[in-house]
A and B are shown apart, each in its own frame.
Chain A
Amino acid sequence: MTPPPLLLGAALLFWGWQIGFLLIALPLAVLIEAARALTWRLELSGTDFHRVTDLSTLLIVVSGVYLFSTTGTARSAGGPRAMTLLFQWLPLLLFPLIASQVYSTVGRVPLTAFFWGLRRQAARDPAAQPGPVDLGYLYFALCILSASAANRRTLDFYAGLCALAGWALWSCRSRRFSPLWWAPLLAVAAIVGYGGHIVLHRLQQAVEQTAFEYIFSLIHRDADPFRAATALGHLGSLKFSDRTVLRVEPRDGLRVPFLLREASYDVYNSPAWVASDATFTALQPEADGETWKFASRQSPGERVTVSAYLNRGRGVLALPGGAFEIDRLAVVSVRRNRLGAVTVEEGLGLVTYTALFAPDGPLDGPAIDADLRVPPQEAPVISRIASELNLGALSPSEKLKIVEAYFRQNFRYSVWKGERARRQTALEEFFLQSRSGHCEYFATATALLLRAAGVPARYAVGFSVQEWSRLEQRWIVRARHAHSWALAYVDGAWRDVDTTPSIWADAERDEASILEPLRDLWSWGGFLFSRWRWSEGQSGVGEYAAWLLIPLVLLLVWRLYSRRVGRGARGTPESLTLAPRPGHDSEFYLIERRLDAAGRGRRPSEPASTWIERIHATELRPIVALHYRYRFDPAGLDAPERAALRTSAEAWLSGHHVHTAAR
């Protein structure tokens, strides 16, 4: 099946129009369609097609590497992924193949060009070589599918698609039926297809929404700024991964453990903390596009540089309490809520940002009534403890100290929880019975106790920076360093109140896997690769990958140029650059010419031996025998034999000159 005239050109133009390569597509289309008007062709062998295919493959690989290493920046600006871009480029990258088909004398591409296995098989057994294929319609389909990857959601795409499909189908329609049958059926298909794609898109959106909500409820990698489910009341032992999730650059004066908060919550509804009135508002970046300020301020504060992975470009930032500015954060969108949670969108796979912070930073909004509310079911035990501690008449700072001392002296850290009485809440059991628990118990109890004492408090989740990596020479934060603590509103600012006994870090470390060093090494390798991959514009090499294309193209041009060129390409067949045949300088040809001039010439395709028998020139037998060996024997003639051929031929020529001329 060969596409009708102009169809391939139209498909190329459609592709160029959709992906914004119209100026490139135009000459390609002209080149493809000009083949119908031009008569010259390249005489390409199977090996030449193999080379063209190999070149296209190399172009795809190099373009893939180039796109993979350079599209980070494009993606951060909402551009497509490398894979999608590569797919869009395919008609261009495979153009050498279709061009070699339409300008070749055979007009088809051998199947061996696409499969190494078939090439090997054909090399072993040339008779078993599969037939050639016409790539016309395949290339046509590729143009349309690649155009679809441009994702232009206008009616133009579908209209163009229907027009091209109709054009292609017209040429292969059944002549049994009138076009009056064909056209309505095509129109029905176009309408059904249009309705179908709208339904399909909506269906995917519905499925996505449902699946997203379901999966998000099961596992969520980033903190949910609206709700934090705790393990309060959870029985058994808690297990945490030693995967590295954050990296903090070393700096002087960093006091460890150092808390990096992801979110805070103000409403406790056992066993979860919920953020009320936590609508996110978007921030506008500064002129450089990478600096984000929460308030225009301020006294110079401290700074910390954090590296974190983003999941599909989205995530919640881990920030120190009191952060007022983030520098070098390459994302498209940053949003924050009044509880100090900061989310980012459309970022790179790995972001490294510097957070500036001060004790009175504006990250968190001021305290409200919800920050003083104690849930009724926990109120009895909380009030009782508060009254036991005599917190009523003290200043907020003093209350804070007493509460911290209370937990430090009376409670211990444990990740194990046994059975508790049914009538008790988890917190009652923690306060009155076990007096041990993990950080969520301490943070919740502290927040509620402070509230009962009249100090606004919140529940915060994030990470504790406490492990120095000698391998990486920076602080690393593992998943098991996830932590929760309380925030207290004291003297007009929110302060971190971490009452969990410091032994918790040691307890967690004891649970570490013996394979942890290996995982760290792997994780560090991944981090270095990601940093290289996503650091385009700083030290990436992606922009130089395009230069690799130049030697490849030159190589192809050289290899093709050195091949034979078919009729009309460079003049007459005599001008073809053919390698000299073995034995082309044999003196026998002089004899042949002499006899031809005498009217006793050799017939087309007549073997020389038959010819001399026919014309009864038996004296030429030894010369023909030597000539045959000189011409066809791989070993050729040695010097004496070569001389014998020459002398005997010359002798014959000198002896027969007059005689043959006389005839």
Chain B
Amino acid sequence: MKHLLYRWFSSFSAFQYRLDRRFTRAGALALGVLGAAAVIGLDTNRTVGYQVLTLVLALLLISAVSSLVFRGRFTARRVLPRFASVGVPLGYRVAIANQTDRRQEGLVLLEELADPRPSFEEFAAAREPGEERRNWFDRQVGYPRWAWLVSQKRGAVVTPRPLPPLAPGGEIEVGVEITPLRRGHVRFIGLTIARPDPLGLVHALKTIRLPQSLLVLPKRYPMPEIRLGGRRKYQPGGVALASSVGDSEEFVALRDYRAGDPMRRIHWKSWARVGRPVVREYQDEFFVRHALVLDTFTERESSLVFEDAVSVAASIAVSVETQESLLDLMFVGPEAYCFTAGRGVGHTDQLLEVLACVGPCRDKPFRALHRAVMERHASLSGCVCVLLAWDEARREFVRHLEALGTPTRVFVVGERGALDALPGDVHPLEVGRIGEGLARL
């Protein structure tokens, strides 16, 4: 039965896609009127609705026939930015060249994104957020789930862009707006130039193949500075990493005092000037290194909790000053990963790129992350954990860190009910209200 539904939804989506492409808004309305007139005019003795039916049908047929001929040849170039962010509309440029000796006007530019229809396995395994609140029929049939999956996999909404007139052999550049709906890659496969027929009901289409992709970074929230604390730790081979600042005899810069800095490094004059302790920095292999630990262990392929946890991690990554310290992003995917940014080693953008593509881990226990962090704990000054639950395995992990004396900040992202029993030093972040939760810190 599920196979049958899947095929039906898949065919329906394809049909709907073609319909959306082929018909203008006026054409779509005419189609709706055609359907309504077919119902009303079913009995030609009772109403004259059948006269509406035949007129609209004639209009659509004539439009369809006149859309068969479209003598246009175009080339296109798309200039995409390097990154986009979820939910933030973004403009980019598209250059269209008219390769005919005829002036082209009244055209509309449509973007072609990769086929967003999920596979049967994805459809069968997915659970739409809030699906449990839907009625029995919707849960069993699963069309809302299908629609949500398609929207997620499409990844972005691109507004159709009416084109200004194109001179014979000329080229124009237009701005197109895209609104990413999820993090990860949005894949473009081409561009379509649509030309409405004289009646304005049906489009004639010319598609140009133009594959490209755009990386969408996770959503980020404004958040206050996180005081991570922690002492500076000896970094084996750290000189190579600490390319610019450290504790060598060579003075590099001044910076704010941090717990663990020796008193003799305090720069008294600066303290007197700015009103807070300031220390001198020298090049050396002692420096602060924090870990940002992201919990990826969720049972579902796509869940709001996981997405919000990634957003929290991204927000933390961009808020931590990495000029003076290192930040290790640690999570477990197919294997345990650790990406480092700061002190010239890597840039925060790279962490965001990694976070844009991180996926849930469903084949390993939380213990794998526990082990990965412990292997590095000796070099860590502090640890920020973004967790998806507060179960025994995670409690054990946090207890272990604290027992080792590693200053730790823990954020648990979850539904409201799952956050009730958290201890006071763990920050609860409710799904859908992450911004509020972070602002309360």
Say if the beta carbon of B374 comes within 8 Å of chain A. no
Which residue of the partner chain, among B25, B32, B48, B58, contacts A148 with CB atoms under 8 Å?
B48
- CB nearest to A142 among chain B residues: B36
Can you list, as one digit per residue, whether each of A170-208 has a CB less than 8 Å from chain B (1) or not (0)?
001111110001100110111011101100110011000
Residue of A nearest to B197 (CB): A174
A157 contact set on B, CB distance < 8 A: 48, 51
Q: Which of A137, A169, A188, A205 meets B200, CB within 8 Å?
A: A169
A185 touches B198 (CB 8 A): yes
Residues in A with CB closer than 8 Å to B133 are 124
Given A1-B26, A182-B198, A200-B44, do A192 and B105 touch, yes or no (CB 8 Å)? no
Task: State whether the Cβ of A144 lies closer than 8 Å to any Cβ in chain B.
Answer: yes
Q: Find the B residue at minimum CB distance from A18.
A: B48
User: Is the CB–CB distance between A176 and B105 below 8 Å?
Assistant: yes
Contact flag A172-B24 (CB < 8 Å), given A141-B32, A182-B198, A192-B58: yes
Q: Is B199's CB within 8 Å of the partner chain A? A: yes
Which chain B residue lies CB-closest to A1? B25
A138 to B25: give the CA distance in the assembly, Å. Answer: 12
User: Is the CB of A630 closer than 8 A to any CB of chain B?
Assistant: no
| Chain A 44-76 per-residue mask, 1 if CB under 8 angstroms from chain B, else 0 | 000000000000000000000000000000000
Interface contacts beyond A189-B62, A204-B44: sample of 19 additional A-B pairs, CB < 8 Å, sorted by A: A124-B133, A141-B29, A150-B47, A161-B52, A168-B26, A172-B24, A172-B200, A173-B200, A174-B197, A175-B105, A176-B198, A181-B198, A193-B51, A193-B54, A193-B55, A193-B58, A197-B44, A197-B53, A200-B53
**Bound Cα distance from A177 to B49, whole angstroms:** 31
Q: Is the CB of A185 within 8 A of B199?
A: yes
A200 to chain B, nearest CB (A): 5
- Chain A residues in 8 Å Cβ range of B174: none
For this complex, into which size category does the number of interface residues on chain A fall? 35 or more
B199 close to A149 (CB less than 8 A): no
Residues A201 and B33 in contact, CB atoms below 8 Å apart: no
User: How distant is the Cα of A84 from the Cα of B66 in the complex, in angstroms?
Assistant: 37
A149-B58 in contact (CB<8A) = no
- A residues adjacent to B (C-beta < 8 A): 1, 80-81, 84, 87, 124-125, 137-138, 141, 144-145, 148-153, 157-158, 161-162, 165, 168-169, 172-177, 181-182, 185-186, 188-190, 192-194, 196-197, 200-201, 204-205
Q: Let me know if B169 is at the binding interface, CB within 8 A.
A: no
Would A174 and B198 count as touching, CB distance under 8 A? yes
B57 within 8 A of partner (CB) = yes
B297 interfacial by beta-carbon distance below 8 Å: no
Q: Which residue of A152, A162, A189 has the most chain B CB atoms within 10 A of its CB atom?
A: A189
Q: Report the separation of the CA atoms of residues A169 and B46 in the bound assembly, to the nearest whole angstrom.
A: 28
Task: With both chains docked as a complex, state the minimum distance between the C-beta of A314 and any C-beta of chain B, in angstroms.
Answer: 15
Cα separation A149 to B43 with both chains bound (whole Å)? 11
Interface string of B149-184 (1 = CB under 8 A from A): 000000000000000000000000000000000000
A sample of 22 cross-chain residue pairs with beta-carbon separation below 8 angstroms, ordered by A number, consists of A81-B46, A84-B46, A141-B29, A148-B40, A148-B41, A157-B51, A165-B59, A168-B26, A175-B105, A176-B107, A185-B66, A189-B58, A189-B62, A190-B55, A193-B51, A193-B54, A193-B57, A197-B51, A197-B53, A197-B54, A200-B50, A200-B54
Rounded to whole angstroms, the CA-CA distance of A456 and B45 in the bound complex is 45
**Residue in A1, A87, A138, A201 whose beta carbon sits within 8 Å of that of B50 in the complex:** A201
The interface residues of chain B lying within 8 Å CB-to-CB of A197 are 44, 48, 50-51, 53-55
Interface of A is mostly: helix
CA distance A11 to B199 in the complex (A): 20
* Chain A hits for B66, CB < 8 A: 185
For A1, the chain B residues whose CB sits under 8 A away are 25-26, 29
Beyond A173-B198, A174-B200, A192-B62, whether A141 also contacts B49 by CB under 8 A is no
Contact A162:B33 (CB < 8 A) given known A173-B198, A177-B198, A185-B198: no
Complex Cα distance A299/B426, Å? 104
Chain B 58-74, CB within 8 Å of chain A: the 1/0 string?
11011000100000000
Q: CA–CA, A192 to B59, complex, Å?
A: 9
Between A1, A124, A193, A196, the greatest number of chain B beta carbons within 10 A of the residue's beta carbon is seen for A193
CB distance from A527 to the nearest CB of B (A): 28
Q: Specify which of A144, A150, A182 lies most central, judged by the most chain B CB atoms within 10 Å of its CB.
A: A144
Closest to B203 in A: A174
Asked if residues A148 and B37 are in contact (CB atoms below 8 Å), the reply is: yes
**In the complex the two chains form, what is the Cα distance from A152 to B49 in whole Å?**
10
> Which residue of chain A is the closest to B51 with respect to CB atoms?
A197
Q: Which of B7-56 contact A (CB under 8 A)?
A: 24-26, 29, 32-33, 36-37, 40-41, 43-56
Q: Which residue of A lies closest to B103 (CB)?
A: A176
Q: Is the CB of B51 within 8 A of A161?
A: yes
Q: For residue B48, which residues in chain A have a CB less than 8 angstroms away from its CB?
A: 148, 150-153, 157-158, 197
Closest residue on chain B to residue A137 by CB atoms: B29
Q: A201 CA to B54 CA in the complex, in Å?
A: 11
User: Which among A138, A145, A192 has the greatest number of chain B C-beta atoms within 10 A?
Assistant: A145
User: Which of the listed residues B25, B52, B195, B432 has the most CB atoms from chain A within 10 Å of its own CB?
Assistant: B52
Interface assignment of B211: CB less than 8 Å from any CB of chain A: no
Residues in B whose Cβ lies below 8 Å from that of A174:
106, 195-200
Which residues of chain B are near A172, meaning CB under 8 Å? 24-26, 200
Given A141-B33, A189-B62, decide whether A148 and B52 contact each other with a Cβ distance below 8 A.
yes
> CA–CA, A403 to B106, complex, Å?
93
Q: Are B199 and A186 in contact (CB under 8 A)?
A: yes
Q: Which residues of A contact B26 (CB under 8 A)?
A: 1, 168-169, 172
Q: Which residues from B are CB-within-8-Å of A153?
A: 48
Q: How far is the CA of A174 from the CA of B200 in the complex (A)?
A: 5
Residues of A within 8 A of B200 (CB): 169, 172-174
Known contacts A174-B197, A174-B198, A185-B66; decide if A149 and B40 are in contact (CB<8 Å): yes
Which 8 residue pairs are nearest across A and B when measured between Cβ atoms? Answer: A176-B106, A193-B55, A196-B54, A192-B58, A177-B198, A193-B58, A174-B196, A197-B54
Tell me which residues across on chain B come within 8 A of A137, comparing CB atoms.
Answer: 29
Shortest Cβ distance from B43 into A: residue: A204
Residues of A within 8 A of B55 (CB): 158, 161-162, 165, 189-190, 193-194, 196-197
- Are A151 and B47 closer than 8 Å at their CB atoms? yes
**Inside 8 A of B46's CB, which chain A residues have their CB?**
80-81, 84, 151
Query: Could you say which residues of chain A place their CB within 8 Å of the CB of B52?
Result: 144-145, 148, 161
CB of B102, distance to nearest CB on chain A (Å): 11
Which chain A residues border B53 with CB–CB below 8 Å? 197, 200
CA distance A188 to B26 in the complex (A): 19
Residues of chain B with a CB closer than 8 A to A181's CB = 198
Q: Is the CB of B59 within 8 A of A87?
A: no
Q: How far is the CB of A351 from chain B (nearest CB, A)?
A: 23
Residue of A nearest to B27 (CB): A172
Residues of the B chain whose Cβ atoms lie less than 8 Å from the Cβ of A169: 26, 59, 199-201
Q: CA of A84 to CA of B48 in the docked complex: distance in angstroms?
A: 12
What's the minimum C-beta distance from A540 to chain B, rounded to whole angstroms?
Answer: 25
Q: How far is the CA of A205 from the CA of B51 in the complex (A)?
A: 15
Instruction: Report Cα–Cα, A528/B72, bound state, in Å.
Output: 71
Closest residue of B by beta carbon distance from A202 = B44
Contacts of B54 in A (CB 8 A): 192-194, 196-197, 200
Tell me whether A145 and B37 are in contact in the complex, defined as CB-CB below 8 angstroms, given that A1-B26, A157-B48, A165-B55 are known contacts: yes
Task: Find out whether the CB atom of A204 lies under 8 angstroms from the CB atom of B29.
Answer: no
A137-B29, A196-B57 in contact; A176/B196 too (CB < 8 A)? yes
Enumerate chain A residues within 8 angstroms of B37, measured Cβ to Cβ. 145, 148
* B58:A176 contact, CB within 8 angstroms: no
**A81 surroundings in chain B (CB, below 8 A):** 46
A residues near B199, Cβ cutoff 8 Å: 169, 173-174, 182, 185-186, 189
Chain B residue numbers with a CB within 8 Å of A176 are 105-107, 195-196, 198
Residues of B within 8 A of A141 (CB): 29, 32-33, 36
| Most A C-beta atoms less than 10 A away, residue of B29, B58, B66, B130 | B58
A83 nearest in chain B by CB position:
B46
Task: Map CB proximity to A onto B86-122 as digits: 1 under 8 Å, 0 otherwise.
Answer: 0000000000000000000111000000000000000
In the assembled complex, the CB of A180 is this many whole angstroms from the nearest CB of chain B, namely 10
